[in-house]
Amino acid sequence: MPTKTQHNLMVRPPVIAVMGHIDHGKSTLLDYIRKANVVASEAGGITQHMGAYQVEHVSAEGKKTSLTFLDTPGHAAFCGIRERSAQVADVAILIVSAEDGVKPQTTEAYNVIKHSKIPYVVAITKIDKPNANVERTKQSLGENEIYVEGWGGDVPCVAISSVSGEGIPELLDMIMLVTELADLKADMNAPATGTIIETTLDTRKGISATLLLKNGSLSVGSFVVAGHAFTPVRFIENFKGEKIETATASMPIRILGWSEMPACGIEFSTVTSKKEAEKLADANKTALKELAGLAAKTASQKSTAEEGDSKVVIMPIIIKADVIGSLDGIKHELAKVSHDKVQLKIVSEGIGDINENDIKVAIGDPSIYVIGFNAPAEKKASAIIERSPIPLKVHNFKIIYELTEFVKTELLAKVPKEYVEEMTGRAKILALFSKEKDKQVLGGKVESGTIESGNEVRIMRREAEIGRGKIRGLQQAKKTVDEVREGFEFGMMLEAKFELAPGDRIESVRTVEK
């Protein structure tokens, strides 16, 4: 990065990560701030992507300031996205519902904030709800070692309602106060640097990426390099989808036309020519090649060892998702779906709709599940699915927990059935009355459990099994019965190849599915 001189440095807008438990009001808060309804467009009313927005805030003194917000998913699956947002943010808003208090993802979000060492403000939401209790929520925060002002700590805390707007101006003023203390500055004359927030693949437009600039400025005509991917900047879209000529520090922007899919969370840099971009991308690729090769070798050895166990059933899947963040979330959740007898194996993964190649792979091995997340089958792929002579397992989901629940159900259905013998009764043989070929007429007494006609039995002599047989008939008090209970004597017709003697015992068994 170029050396910054004091006269080149300018105050830049703060980047704010909004984090907390699912359905505690993160997106609703941003909706109010931006005066737009985003939650309604998310499947199931929960955020499944990370959005980046920039708004203008006017303080009580009339001072205008730009604020960049990152809306992160609260669902447990998207811990990777939350970590990325905390890494690029300057300050965080930890959302806690006044109805529910601290929940699992509240604690997880707090740990991410603490690990990132960024300042934060607690926003207690939903104070307009009938069951809201702000003081109880502050107590819940303290019980989880989050000490707000007035409750033994120095963490700023503001109670808000995203419906009425109560407390939101105070929250934004508090954010401005916290960021002023951080003294955020950037060199606007330097080449742009920052972080890749999200990447997507559009079948018509190609690969696009959401970038967050942290320093410098980016103009049309330059080249952006992220890892081993690069792109010419033909045009820049702001968060509204409007084309702009120049982007400055703290702005979330979108750029299309990448050479390949850049990884989320990595830093990008800017160069002036394609030759420089290719050279830098190649250098990054070489640096990562050895590390990636070692990781692939280790993964291959592990997979081979696991598959070498003949007792393990493999459930192969192809995963397609709309964006990288979704793919990360899916893999995070699927890692929890496990069984000692069935193993998930990701045959391939990718961004974009289910395509022709995915379906051809599935036709080659009909046991493969093709799982899409906001990634329906393309027209050609749909035509192949319809014409396929064998039924293909192609499914698309819009909500991540529905996807993982489906995979879990299918995996459990593949668990090999195990059968075990269960003893229902034990009897002692008292007399042998007659024997004809494999059939014997015996007399005995039930010592425990129940002996039933038709049961298979283990023939025991001095506690060692010497053979097997089957009860063909039972009598008790000279009457034919279906069963004889503990403590009663009986007469029995037993079919067995081994001749029993007084003192032997029989154990009645039945086979049950484990």
Task: State which residues form the domain around 435.
Answer: 419-513
**Is 379 in the same domain as 500?**
no
Sign of CA dihedral 269, 273, 277, 280: negative
**Is 25 in the same domain as 170?**
yes
Task: Please check the confidence at residue 279 and state whether its pLDDT lies above 80.
Answer: yes
**Is 232 in the same domain as 192?**
yes
Alpha-carbon span 32 to 17, nearest angstrom: 16
Which of 364, 392, 413 is the endpoint of a domain? Answer: 413
**Is 39 in the same domain as 154?**
yes
**Is 194 in the same domain as 333?**
no
In this structure, which amino acid lies at residue 467?
G
* Average pLDDT for 286-305: 55
pLDDT at 51: 62
Q: Which of 193-207, 252-266, 374-388, 475-489 has the lowest mean pLDDT?
A: 193-207
Per the domain annotation, does 1 fall within a domain?
no
Q: Report the 3 state secondary structure along 361-395.
A: HHHHCCCCEEEEECCCECHHHHHHHHHCCCCCEEE
% the chain with pLDDT above 90: 30
* Average pLDDT for 224-246: 90
> What tens digit of pLDDT does each residue of 110-145 get?
888 888 888 999 999 989 888 889 999 999 999 988
Residue 222 sits in a domain whose CATH number is 2.40.30.10
- Which position has the token pair 């909706």? 31
Alpha-carbon span 69 to 47, nearest angstrom: 14
What is the DSSP pairing of strand 91-97 with strand 15-20? Answer: parallel
> What tens digit of pLDDT does each residue of 486-496 get?
999 999 999 99
Among 443, 440, 417, 448, residue whose Cα is nearest residue 493: 440
Which of 389, 413, 437 is the endpoint of a domain? Answer: 413
Q: How many domains does the chain have?
A: 4
Distances (CA, A) of 306 to 309, 316, 341, 343, 451: 6, 14, 11, 8, 44
Residue 157 sits in a domain whose CATH number is 3.40.50.300
> What tens digit of pLDDT does each residue of 61-101 get?
777 788 888 766 533 333 445 455 567 888 989 999 998 88
Give the mean pLDDT of the chain. 82
Task: Please check the confidence at residue 327 and state whether its pLDDT lies above 70.
Answer: yes
Residues shown for the chain: 514
Distance of CA 55 to the CA centre of its chain: 31
- Helix 168-182 vs helix 26-34: angle between axes, to the nearest 10 degrees? 90
pLDDT at 72: 61
Query: Where are any strands of DSSP class E within 27-114?
Result: 51-58, 64-71, 91-97
In this structure, which amino acid lies at residue 150?
G
pLDDT at 291: 57
pLDDT at 290: 60
* pTM tops 0.85, yes or no: no
Contact 506, 427 (CB under 8 A): yes
Phi and psi based region of residue 353 (left: phi greater than 0; alpha: psi -120 to 50; beta: remaining) = beta
**Is 147 in the same domain as 226?**
no
Task: Please check the confidence at residue 36 and state whether its pLDDT lies above 50.
Answer: no
Per the domain annotation, does 291 fall within a domain?
no
> What tens digit of pLDDT does each residue of 437-465 get?
889 999 999 999 999 998 899 999 988 99
